Amino acid sequence: MRLIGQTNLDLLEQMFDQLPHNPFFVKDHALRYVAANGAMARLCGAARPSDLYGKTALDLFPGALGRRYETLDQQVLASGQAITNKLELSTGRAETVWLLYSRLPVKAADGKTIGVTGVSRELKAPGGRDLLYNRLAKVAERLRSQSDHPLRLDQLATLAATSKSQLARDFTRVFAMTPGGFLQQLRLDRALRLLETDKSIAQVAHECGYVDQSAFARRFRKSIGVSPQHYRTRIRVTHSVPR
């Protein structure tokens, strides 16, 4: 049985091998592949997942793309924070494909980040879809960089060179959520990180783009099931428990 921390890599591979269009990987602290599925091997131009083991993104992807993937992995490893729902064109050695991907930290029992795992969904781009995905990638990045701003669908539609209704339909089809839902997820992810700091609940609400603390608290409780203060208390207790 191969393990990273308490993660059974063999079991993960067996699970993700059932998803032929969802590249999946696990990397150790040195950012070497220690697990992957067939879809990931195909993306890298390898015959089988085991051909990836011990190698890094720099070994498997050409030039700038390999360096970009390595940078993203290092970001997750250093921060311990996930990168979710990023839309990107992957020009691997075997094929070029649009990916909607997420990267997450692999953590040990003491909370230390010991690796990185990632999973993607392949988005086929027949007949002009490359242009669509390019536009949606710009919209998603604008929402990500300005998650504390109010949602302005008209401005996003202008950015994507389309109508508001068409943008909403296209965005929902690709990301499986509306632009507003995507923005709420970004804000929630940011709030979860900020609640681990010493900033007040009011400060967290403001930095995440909520009009007031009560609106933030309502949204947080609806999504997480507890109040922001209760979540913060629970996190601090968890971190203070000896391992």
Contact 139, 147 (CB under 8 A): no
Rounded Cα distance between 65 and 49, Å, is: 20
Choose the final residue of a domain: 123, 139, 174. 123
Q: How many domains does the chain have?
A: 2
Choose the final residue of a domain: 69, 101, 123. 123
pLDDT in tens, 125-158: 555 567 888 889 899 989 988 999 999 999 999 9
Residues 222 and 172 in one domain: yes
Residue 173 is predicted with a pLDDT of 87
Residues 118 and 44 in one domain: yes
Residue 109 is predicted with a pLDDT of 82
Specify which residues 120 forms β-bridges with. 101
Residues 111 and 163 in one domain: no
Residues 95 and 135 in one domain: no
- Is pLDDT at 5 greater than 70 in this prediction? no
Rounded Cα distance between 125 and 133, Å, is: 8
Q: Domain of 29?
A: 3-123
Rounded Cα distance between 106 and 25, Å, is: 11
- The CATH number that applies at residue 165 is 1.10.10.60
- The CATH number that applies at residue 7 is 3.30.450.20
